Amino acid sequence: MARPLSGCASGPWRPTRYRQDHRHCRRAFRRRVEGSRARSGRDDQARHPANASLTDRRSAGQPEACGQAGRTPRHLDGQGRIDGNDFLSVRSEAVSRWNVREIAFYGAGGRRRTLEFDLNKVNVITGASGTGKSAIIDAIDYCLGSKSCKLPFFVRTHAESVAVHWTRGDADLILGRKIPKSGSGTDLMYVQAGRKLKLPERSEELEGPTNRDTARALIENAFGIRDTDNPVAATKSEKGRATVRDIPPYLSLSGDVIISRGTLLHDLNRPEKARDIKATIPYFLGAVDQASVLAARTLRQLEAALSRIERESRAHQRSQGLLTQRAMALLTQAHGVGLTSGLPATDESDKVLLDRLASVAASSVALSDEGASEARATLEEEQRELVLELQSLRGKRQMLRQTLREAAGYETTVSAQAHKLKLIEHLDLGDGRCPVCDARNDAGNAMAEQIHEALGIVASEVHAVDGMRPRLDDHSGHIERLIGSRYDRLREVEAQLGGLVRVEEDSEVTGSLLQERARVAGRIDQFLDTTAQDFQTTLPGTMALEERIEGLREQVDPQARRERLRDAETMVSAFATEMLADLPTEVPATGSRVVFSSTPNLTLVEPSRRAVLTMAEIGSDQNYLAIHLALAFSLQKLFQTVRAPVPGLLVIDQISRPYYPKGGDEKRLKEMDKDDDQMAMQRIVRFLFDETARQAGLQVILIEHAYIEEDPEYVAAVKGRWTKASGVKLIPSDWPLRA
């Protein structure tokens, strides 16, 4: 339980109770956890029958036998506790998450500066500005494979290497990295995994040297970021695939985020990082697995490829039509100057047309002369026939459209009449009795028979309309297709006629048929050498691509993904709403409901007018501090619930920002000007300790100016006081400059 705070004007402060309108969220969540755990227990018993005896002994209150093989099923008691461990409100040792045990900076001459932290607890480092406290966040991020090194100048000029010692249960992971004097991070990293590991005394003793890409893959494997079966994929930075570099936004509340009105998570304000955060957050929220993420990414790529092929196919078809027109026009010109014996047929394929053109190009221009007048007369006659046929077809189309409109109106009228007459069936007039007095009535019986006859007539008319409408639609479609084909042929004929006219005009200018033949043959040669070759490109088939896309769509299952994502968003919103009620806020955040979305975005629904407020509309640094704390702890709670591969770590950079001026030395609680600010600060501190205790495996590292000596638990959690008076800093002042 939380310890009461002394020094408050209103007496000891106690955490506020969860509000009544959000208790249903906790009950629903517990039922979800209980159901999933119960199913897991049944599955375990089915896979490991030997464990059934363990279950029987546990339910009977008997101790378990040590060394029992198989996986022991766990049981819920209906109150959110598993085997006596309260999963929802107090710490449970049943859940083990990665925490930071130590951070070490290595300097010249074997120097080492080590920061030690308690696991699964709140750790506090207080002190003055400029002592290097915020560099703790940068050191952790750098050792998680960051491309850039954001460590401050003093650290980079005095420390040669940095190492972070991670621990989960009895597993250890040491991540080390050389610190560059300037510029981006080095590619050399050190990764060592095992049990009972310790940080070395000197940087030269760091083990497991490797490059950054391989190190990131090893860290992902240790953290549990599962990849596909393809081992090569683990070393590639693929968009949409979750990597260790997508974890840092959930591990810290840095100074530029903790009271920000525009940035919800660390690095979300950087466009190149925001894309990765948005792409991978469904994975960390438990809505998808890595295979689904990669399948969705592949699906998007294949769908884009299919769309590109379809566009190219349509363009190719248009180009193919142009090829046909151009080839027929050239053959017509060749016929006009006597290079070929006949006009091209309308049903000839492109291959036949190109073969004929190739034959003309290979032949001599000194062939016997055949006048163009006959060819032109033939084409003009076909043109007239096509125009007349198109006029007739357009008239038929107009009549069909009018008939279809009338049929639709008649169908509507007849259907309405049939609907009205069918109402009579509910009166049950077939037995000859009055539906009101239940007496026999011959006149009424006759009327009922007439109504039934009328209903039969209308029904037959409805049936006739239903049978006629499809035939009318089919005939209309046939007419449209005929009109389209005739227009295409008319364009071809007009192109051929244009070619003949141009040949005749050129002949009149040159005055030599032989020269005109040579000119036409040259056009054909140029067409075959350039345009025809471009049009003859073969497009890839789409059948196999479409089959693969369909298979991926079944694997991705976007509807189920949306449901799981919506469920995770609801859980985070409920957690954050409860936590916000425990933190000091101002109107309009006080009493508001948090709505979180995985875009990611966050809004508040204020209680009085039910207005939806964006982050920019909320106002007040105190509100933004409370919102960021509530969201960060809510995400960690969800990660614990869904067993997401995110370490149980939150590094928080100064919760006292709304209450103390920037910079300066370590501050005391009594230095605050207002009593309300003191009480608010105490509430925030209590929230940190209480919420950390509720969440199993969660570790908090608080970087702070404030030293709250009135709170014994806060004092006990302090791991370092880097004040101006003490002269203590992250990197000791007496360390020499690097060589």
Q: Which two tokens stand for residue 121?
A: 């607890």
Q: Which two tokens stand for residue 323?
A: 């090829």
**Model confidence over 388-400: pLDDT tens digits?**
888 888 888 888 8
Answer whether residue 650 shows pLDDT above 70: yes
Distances 526 to 122, 202, 212, 249, 507 between C-alpha atoms, Å: 81, 76, 57, 62, 20
Q: Which two tokens stand for residue 112?
A: 């080492």
Element (H, E) at 116: strand 112-116
**Model confidence over 681-739: pLDDT tens digits?**
999 999 999 999 999 999 999 999 889 998 999 999 999 999 988 889 999 999 999 98
Asked whether 328 and 495 are in contact (CB, 8 A), the reply is yes
**Model confidence over 67-86: pLDDT tens digits?**
333 333 333 333 333 344 43
Cα-flanking dihedrals φ and ψ of residue 477, to 5°?
A: -65, -40
Distance CA 674, CA 689 (A): 23
172 CB neighbour count, 10 Å cutoff: 19
The verdict on pTM exceeding 0.75 is no
**Model confidence over 419-462: pLDDT tens digits?**
666 666 655 656 666 655 666 666 767 777 777 777 777 777 76
Distance CA 600, CA 222 (A): 27
Would you state the pLDDT for residue 328?
Answer: 78
**Model confidence over 554-570: pLDDT tens digits?**
666 778 788 889 999 99
In the predicted model, what is the mean pLDDT of residues 488-516?
A: 71
Distance CA 38, CA 59 (A): 14
Answer whether residue 41 shows pLDDT above 90: no
Would you state the pLDDT for residue 242?
Answer: 86
Give the 3-state secondary structure of residue 8: coil
Q: Is the dihedral of CA 367, 371, 372, 378 positive or negative?
A: negative
Q: Which two tokens stand for residue 318?
A: 């248009």
Q: Where are the domains of the chain?
A: 20-86, 242-285+557-644, 361-535
Which residues make Cβ contacts (< 8 Å) with residue 35, sequence separation at least 6? Answer: none
